[in-house]
Amino acid sequence: MPAPRNRPAAALVMATALAAVGLVPAASPAAAATIPVGSGSYSDSRPAGTSGPTTNTGTPVTPKVTPAAQGKPVPTNDWWSSLAFQRYGDNPYSTPMYGHPLTYQATAGGLDVGYPTSPQIVGDGRQYEYAHKRDLTIGLSGLNSPDTKADAWSDWTVTPYWSDGTRTLRTTIGHGSPFVYAKGTGGNAQITTAAAPTVFADQGNVLGITVAGHHYALFAPAGTDWTVAGSSITAGLGGKDYFSVAVLPSTDALATFRKYAFSFVTGSTVNWSYTGGTVRATYTLTTEAKEGTERGTLQALYRHQWLHTADALTGYTYVSPRGTMKVREAASFTTTQPASAVLPALPGAGGTDPARLRAYLDEVANSSDPFSGAVDTYWTGKALGKLAQLVPIADRIGATATRDKLLGLTKGRLQDWLTAGGANEFSYDPAWKTLIGYPASYGSDTELNDHHFHYGYYVYAAAVVAQYDPAWAADSAWGGMVRTLIRDTANPARTDAAFPFLRGFDVYAGHSWASGHQGFAAGNNQESSSESTNLSAALVLWGSATGDTTLRDLGTYLLTTEAESIAQYWFDADQQVFPGSFGHDTVGMVWGSGAAYSTWWTANPEEIHGINVLPVTGGGSLHLAARKDAVRRNIAEMERENGGPAVEWRDILWEFQSLADPAAAKAKWDAGNAAYTPEAGESKAHTYHWISALDALGAPDATVTGDLPTSAVFTKGTTRTYAAHNYGSTARTVTFSDGKTLTVPARSTATGTGTGGSGPDPVPPTGNTFQLRSGGALTTATGGTAASDTVPSADGANHDGTPYKPLVYEIRGVHGTLTPGAATAFRLQMDAGTVVGLGQQARISYDLTGDGTFDRTETYQYFATDPVSGWEEYAHTRGLRSATGTLGDLVNGTVRLEVWSAIGNGASQLQTGTNTSVVVIPYS
């Protein structure tokens, strides 16, 4: 594991790995000491005695880019940032870069390429790695470059550049790409393998080789030929300047890959949208046909992507540290997800003693030092977040004097930091095109680490102020500087000359990276994923409060995307990502090469589990409740590793548990609230309100979404509570995906049980709802008697995607008109009892005319049940695994549901006879 950065002994939390992204005025700053932005300002030079980006020996460093890229904002905090940020003075090339499925490292002779497929368990079993190991080097004969520079980049691809004065080489590489596209001059194409290769196909300009058990295809221009001499393989380029290399999922894939070998990728772009509670994102590669006319390509999707796409996928797969990657044969694909819930604060609810809550609030507001001595960007940010979270709570209980005092404290410290020239300020670095806060911390200056962690707190606090004082948030007042922080951390513009596009967020990986330089053997890393979603939620709240739907929708896309990545890659929610030999249910840190059950500063289990929870907010935390099974496993493991319940970070972990089991968390609070010290970003006021509110409302219910980003649903027993905050100046009606509606007054939060709609039944409201009946029937009848059917064991085999001893439920003679844009939905109550390692799967089929042939079949991702007795909900939101055929109108048709065990060695139960186990078809 790479050596961690030093942390102060007093650090209870951390702003881990590394991140930075910037925002400033639209053009580069003028040459002046202070740059005014509305009522605030930043400086164009660092305070005396401070440092900007440096090598590890303290030497100032500037971006390592070619003349073609000079002046362009460099996206630090990316998977390939070591190409541009030379953190280690003796390495002018790069550290290992994890593109997945391929790994890369630049060297003097070209690009080392590997495809790690076997995990290693290191660090006393606390870390798993698919470490980079060279299979071959892509270069030119004789190439000996003194360095490697970044020549061009786009949303998830990059082009490294080598030149030794005689030869030049460019290679384009990217996330999900099985190809490396090379352009070279001054020498022959040369592939040097780590060991003598085995040739499995020789087709002249196309060569298939096997190295270290991995299959590669080499493609030279038409009319040329590859020559193999030991571990050296060369080809003249026949007057051309291009060739490509691909890693193959199997030798029989060669013909498919040959089709796209000369469709060179030239760029990558993601476009997102938010509409009616749904986030859609389309990931597109641009290509150039070097030979022929083919412009398509192949790209491997990560698990968080293929779980949420209905686009066709091939049968080809790759191994990666993020689980199986699945290959699409096209230049683009689209993901569709229900938006993650966001509220400025949990709504008020019964169970909270107003007098007790007032006392807790006053304890913070009247503290002799509400900022706990914080002086740097990170700890000041945490203190701002702590105070800001209490403002809406005080407002809800009518404690207006306390509310206003908290607002005043928050405004005062924000304004202090958003003004240049004092003991603290933000300074713009024109070489790296980033805004650095001083005093800095955790390498946010010298390594450009953690900007999204630090500045997210400032934006979140500013969003709370904007909710109560819109004039303060105007661009002409303090809003201009807040937007400058946003541009540094999450710039939505690709054409901003002052800051890069989404510097810290990796749109293809689905999460942010924290290291500014990526200078580790394990690639880049991110520890506190929750501090990353804190920024995304802050964008939703700031955009909503200021009427900026562009930032609001950006925040919704970032939050929703990262929420699924966190579930899969930090919490292994489906238990399909972590290697079987890795003995943990969660990790504290994700690396390019894998993940680790650790933090930068401690091995204490409470912090390992808690660092991906804090700060607990109505904005950035509700998404965690989408996988209650993962929350329960997480808490159980923490207590096993800890030797008992939490002691140091008990408030963070109580709040986390309340997202799945509010009553259990409330019992722990009741037993332990008298004598504990709140975590540095927490307060007893917030923890008490959070736990009491969820105990009364029930846990967040991610199966239902509202058509307003600032809305959420909670379920306790059979009762749903709908909540939304309306930032607008007029009342509006929020419509939820189950058909319920809620009218919300202007500039207010409202809650209720909803009106209209279909009650607790799932989406879409326009479809027909069928309950399950024991014995194999689907019926529109209601008022059944609750019962259950036994789902047989998978008998220890993997039946993912293929029904095995399935339960079958069917209805015939169905007539219906297909609803445009609607989709199948279901909600099934499952229980595996105390059996571990089970996963149930559903398939829904449509015979449109009742002729016995199913015209449309939809197979959904299986649901990993937890080993805790009690019903769990398996819903269509798990994602479509595959689909065949096309829907049309039903004329005397048949609808069939099949449920079986995809994995496991035990039976489970499927509830029948109630309106909580239903199938909803997209017909009227």
Find the catalytic residue in 527, 637, 707, 738.
Answer: 527
Name the strand (E) or helix (H) holding 267.
strand 263-275
Q: How many CA atoms, within 13 angstroms, populate the side-chain half-sphere of residue 238?
A: 13
Classify residue 864 as exposed, middle or buried by CB count within 10 Å of its CB (0-12, 13-18, 19+).
buried
Beta bridge partners of 825: 920
What residues contact residue 387 under an 8 Å CB cut-off, 6+ apart?
364, 370, 406, 409, 410, 461
Q: Are 139 and 231 in contact (CB under 8 A)?
A: no
831 catalytically annotated? no
Residue 408: helix, strand or coil by DSSP?
A: helix
527 flagged as catalytic: yes
Distance CA 601, CA 608 (A): 10
Helices marked H in 547-677 — which ranges?
549-565, 605-610, 628-642, 650-658, 662-672
Distance CA 608, CA 378 (A): 19
In the β-sheet with 748-752, what is the strand arrangement from edge to edge? 699-700, 711-716, 719-726, 748-752
Q: How many CB atoms lie within 10 A of CB 719?
A: 11
276 contact partners, CB below 8 Å, separation of at least 6: 707, 735
Choosing from 450, 564, 572, 831, the catalytic residue is 450
Alpha helices (H) in 433-500, listed in sequence order = 451-468, 480-490
Cβ neighbour number for residue 601 with a 10 Å cutoff? 21
Q: Which of 531, 572, 637, 682 is an active site residue? A: 531
Place of tokens 């009606």: 733
Secondary structure letter of residue 476 according to DSSP: I
Percentages helix, strand, coil for the chain (3-state, rounded to 5) are 20, 30, 50
From residue 383, how far is each of 458, 647, 766, 841 by CA, in Å? 10, 22, 47, 45
Helix or strand or coil: residue 534?
Answer: helix
With contact defined as beta carbons under 8 Å apart, do 779 and 773 qualify?
A: yes
Question: Could you tell me if 391 and 410 are in contact, meaning their C-beta atoms sit under 8 angstroms apart?
Answer: yes
Q: Inter-axis angle of helices 377-396 and 354-365, to 10 degrees?
A: 150
Identify which of 686, 743, 697, 687 has the alpha carbon closest to the alpha carbon of residue 720. 697
The DSSP symbol for 624 reads G
**Helix (H) or strand (E) run with residue 255 in it:** helix 254-259
Contact criterion met (CB below 8 Å) for 461 and 453:
no
Q: Which residues contact 70 (CB under 8 A, 6 or more apart)?
A: none
Indicate if 450 belongs to the active site.
Answer: yes
Which positions are annotated as active-site residues?
A: 450, 527, 531
